[in-house]
A and B are shown apart, each in its own frame.
Chain A
Amino acid sequence: MKRTSFPVLLFMLALLIALSSMHLFGLQAQGISNRIVFWEFQIPRLLSAVLAGAGLSLSGLLMQNLFQNPMAGPYVLGINSGASLLISILILGAGPSVLNQLSYASAAMMGAFLAASFMFLVAKRVQNIQSLLVIGLMFASFTGAVESVLQSFAAPEQIKQLFIWNMGSLQQMSAAQAPLLAVFVLVGIVIALFLIKGLNAMVLGDAQARQLGVKVNFLKVSILFVTALLAGSITAYCGPIAFVGLAIPNLARAILRTQDHLVLILFSVLAGSCFLVAIDVLILLFDPWMSIPVNVLTAALGAPYVAYLMLRRR
């Protein structure tokens, strides 16, 4: 690890703690706090911001490594759409009564894994990222169409549930779901840490990575698996959240000027958490006047940055 990276990581950790305190304190300032509210609403909401931010940016980092392209991410490549499609089938087909926490998450993970694998196979055929992004977009439209068809058969109650979920929000995760999501994200981070060696070699491309002794196929399947675990479970509990996975890893490389994935993983996890917690603090601040959906803010901050990256690459 470069000596300069360590203070940056320490700073991000301090920032995360500061933002988290603000997050908890911000809610208390509105005078609604008691023990039950604290444990049933405030803590799950903070946890979902921390976990979703960490997991989404890590899955973005892994996808950028897998596709060997800094413009890859779980949202733009339609991974969320895959998760979304299977969730819709579950909500509309089975109805909320059958749903428990796990079936939700496993359906989303399955959808994410199928979508990620599909996009990966497509990426082998089309070599340039522009085509890939367009195909990702088409894939999202297609799953959207299927969802619409499904909706026309659904009861209003189910459609409402799906609509709210599809908005993406850090407030819908229940206290019972929080430990599950924490386990999924932690497992994802730990597996990613054991892939560091391969990830570092993969920046040179498949052939060179093989030449350096990396089991490339195993690595790729592992990346797909971890991406599905992270993006799938987060999408299940928080809905589709855009731009975090794409923007944060690029920010990590821009600030740290490194391709050492130990540093990149730790920074992405911390910075992703900071980003979503900060956004939720903003949402809390504006709450008395208006309720801002989380995707509005991630897009407002993330989209210009991503556009800037595209322009800089020419």
Chain B
Amino acid sequence: MIKIENTQIGHQQLLISIDELKLPAGQLYALIGRNGSGKSTFLHSLIGQLPLRAGQLSLGNFSVQALHNDHLLRAKHVSFVQSMFAGVEALTLHAYVSLGRLPYLGAFGRMQDKDLSFVDEVLSRLNLTSLAHRATQNLSDGERQLASLARAIVQDTPYMILDEPASFLDYFNRELLLDQLQNWVQSNAKRTAIFSSHDIDLCLEKGIKLLVLHEQKLTLLENPSKKEVMDLL
């Protein structure tokens, strides 16, 4: 469960103010909001990267402050997918996805057999097996974006936060991504995922709960109609 109480979020100036919001676990939430409404800022606060201006925010048993202070704890508790991964010279897709196992590895960073088979399984779920040994810098933006999702799944955390994970994906891969995320949260009751998106139609079609950012407020809509969403925005 994600709990937010009397929280103010923003860099220099206040962007979002939340009195009270509880997001039960085992669910997938889509964060919707207009450009510049503070979606990324909110997500960065959720992963403890941006300190809160005031209030309390906790993911399960840990406050974001505690997670910020203990990187290893955070790495095992919440994974984060950036909107853009530019690729790295000589880093294969397989090696990139494998980095998700890093928090669980020993000092020399060696992967065990169970780590490797987990990576292989996730790659095949996301139809990435044939690209496994391509260098990430030579992949398309969309392929890299799917790889980032794979990396986060492999990290095996109860919380997953994604910043516009579908911005470079084609229609079919956007469906694949949402299905995989729904699958991911449903396969374990402790899991929660929040992703930001502009794809309101697809989210409504899939019955995903919406978190709508508007006028510095965050509203949870379960099963809304498109008109309700549009009126809020």
Contact = CB atoms under 8 A, between A and B. Distances in A.
Nearest to B47: A211
A11 to B, nearest CB: 19
Interface in A181-220: 193-194, 196-197, 200-201, 203-204, 207-208, 210-215
A60 B163 CA distance: 34
A193 B88 CA distance: 22
Interface residues of B, number: 30
B95 A201 contact: no
Interface of A is mostly: helix
A200 B99 contact: yes
A204 B75 contact: no
B135 interface: yes
A257 B74 contact: no
A213 B70 CA distance: 8
A131 B119 CA distance: 40
A212 B103 contact: yes
B79 A211 contact: yes
A197 B109 contact: yes
Contacts of B109: 196-197, 200, 260-262
A272 interface: no
A30 interface: no
Given A196-B108, A212-B102, A215-B71, A259 B49 contact: no
Nearest to B82: A208
B108 A212 contact: no
A70 interface: yes
A258 interface: yes
A213 B76 contact: yes
B72 A213 contact: yes
Contacts of B102: 197, 200-201, 212-214
Nearest to B75: A213
Interface of B: 47, 49, 71-72, 74-76, 79-80, 82, 85, 88-92, 95-96, 99-100, 102-103, 105-110, 135, 155
10 contacts: A196-B108, A196-B109, A197-B108, A203-B91, A204-B99, A211-B80, A256-B90, A258-B91, A261-B109, A262-B108
Interface of A: 1, 70, 193-194, 196-197, 200-201, 203-204, 207-208, 210-215, 253-254, 256-262
8 closest A-B pairs (Cβ-Cβ)? Answer: A213-B75, A197-B109, A213-B72, A213-B103, A259-B91, A253-B90, A212-B102, A196-B109
